[in-house]
Amino acid sequence: MADEEFELDEEEELSLLETLDHVLDRGLVIAGEVTIAVADVDLVYLGLNLLLGSVETVDRVLGERERRVELLSRRAKPSGG
Amino acid sequence: MSLYVYCLGDDLSGAAFEGLAGVGGARVRVLSLGVLSAVVSEAEEGATNVDAENLRAHNRVNAAALAHTTPLPCRFGTRAAPERLGEYVTSNETALASALARVRGCVEMSVKLLEKSEVGSRKSEVEGDAVGTAPSAAGAGTAFLLKKRRELLGEEGARRRAEEAAAWLASGVGELARETAARLSPSEAIFVRAAHLVERARVEEYRDRLRTLAAARPDLRLLTSGPWPPYSFSDIKQ
């Protein structure tokens, strides 16, 4: 159960980072009307071209996911001998 | 009064946003602006906070629009007085209509490329054996120049790898993307960010293609997401 909850948290984190990456420095700009304040500085690096900040998170989550897939595929294989 | 603006479109219906909470929990509605309309809510005082709740709200509203039609999504934090928004739409009507025609029937799909064991490979590249090491007898000036040379070669190699990976991805996706917008960041862990404009009817085919591509390059990690409103294909020249 704890593992499942952890997995959900990770997916949630990735989803938020992807959202951040899409909505913060892309999209239609109505000249001079984008007004934002960065309250949670953990999420972004600030410049006017705001970029995805938590690359390490992406790398870690993908690594975890790959390890889980590998583990599951090993379990699925019948043991030899 | 100021409005928070989520997206513009020519086929937006208020029913799609009923009961949906916008940025700051505000009620979302469709504002008719002649041929086009805008999805808006009342903006709070001051700037829009970049926090998880507001980011999700912005995306939730645009995702609701995308479920029915392909809008032109606005950048997070876009706000305008109603009369200013009306002026903007009127004075850019032709460009906005072209932008809508460009994305009609499509969604944006996103792919990010990361190198596996990225840290090790970048480090070895910069410190690479192939470019030689300073002779022990060399002076400080020689050592400095050699170090600079190694750094330049490392940057050049990273740039070439990013270009190669972006070209490989573009070629692999091929005709499934109506348009591609790619950004290369050779010195970063995510060294290619690509957005593809894909027709709705071909999204599953596109996903299958990416699975095949991912399997062919065990040296790369592909972080894929979508469908998104076409954030990378919506801006207009003013």
CA pair distance B147, B154, nearest whole angstrom:
10
- On whether ipTM exceeds 0.90, the answer is no
pLDDT surpasses 80 at B15: yes
Determine the pLDDT at residue A33: 66
B34 domain-assigned: yes
Three-state DSSP state, B53: helix
B residues 172-211 lying closer than 8 A (beta carbon) to A: 188-190, 193, 195
Count of domains forming chain B: 2
DSSP string, B160-173: HHHHHHHHHHHHHH
CA pair distance B227, B218, nearest whole angstrom:
25
Q: Which of B6, B12, B55 to mutate to test the interface with A (most CBs of A within 10 A)?
A: B55
Work out the pLDDT band at B115, boundaries 50, 70, 90.
Answer: confident
CA pair distance B33, A17, nearest whole angstrom:
33
B71 domain-assigned: yes
B194, B111: one domain: yes
Rounded to an integer, what is the distance from CA B201 to the centroid of its chain? 21
B111, B99: one domain: no
Residue by residue, what is the 3-state secondary structure of chain A? CHHHHHHHHHHHHHHHHHHHHHHHCCCECCCCCECEECCCCCCEECCCCCEECCHHHHHHHHHHHHHHHHHHHHHHCCCCC
Q: Which residue has the higher pLDDT, B127 or B21?
A: B21
B112, B179: one domain: yes
Q: Which residue among B49, B189, B195 sits closest to A59, beta carbon to beta carbon?
A: B189
B90, B112: one domain: no
B80 touches chain A (CB under 8 A): yes
Residue B234 and residue A26: Cβ atoms within 8 Å? yes
Determine the pLDDT at residue A68: 65
Q: Last residue of some domain: B80, B103, B126?
A: B103
CA pair distance B55, B63, nearest whole angstrom:
12
B135, B162: one domain: yes
- pTM of the entire predicted model: 0.77
Work out the pLDDT band at B138, boundaries 50, 70, 90.
Answer: low
Q: Tokens 């980011």 identify what position?
A: B55
B16, B82: one domain: yes
Residue B78 and residue A33: Cβ atoms within 8 Å? yes
Work out the pLDDT band at A38, boundaries 50, 70, 90.
Answer: low
In chain B, what percentage of residues exceed pLDDT 70? 89
Determine the pLDDT at residue B145: 79
Phi/psi region, residue B99 (left: phi>0; alpha: psi -120 to 50; beta: rest), is: alpha
Determine the pLDDT at residue A66: 64
B56 domain-assigned: yes
- Domain-by-domain residue ranges, chain A? 2-76
Work out the pLDDT band at B47, boundaries 50, 70, 90.
Answer: confident
Q: Last residue of some domain: B79, B103, B127?
A: B103
Determine the pLDDT at residue A47: 33
Instruction: Kindly identify which residue of chain A lies nearest to residue B78, measuring between CA atoms.
Output: A34
Residue A16 and residue B56: Cβ atoms within 8 Å? yes
Question: Chain B contacts of A27, Cβ < 8 Å?
Answer: 73-76, 78, 231, 234-235
A69 touches chain B (CB under 8 A): no
B97, B111: one domain: no
Q: Last residue of some domain: B103, B132, B166?
A: B103
Token pair for A65: 């996911």
Expressed as residue numbers, the domain containing B223 is 106-233
CA pair distance B222, B235, nearest whole angstrom:
26
B238 domain-assigned: no
B130 domain-assigned: yes
Work out the pLDDT band at A64, boundaries 50, 70, 90.
Answer: low
Q: Which residue among A26, A38, A43 sits closest to B231, beta carbon to beta carbon?
A: A26
Determine the pLDDT at residue A77: 64
Determine the pLDDT at residue A44: 37
In tens, the pLDDT along B87-113 reads: 999 999 999 999 999 999 999 999 999
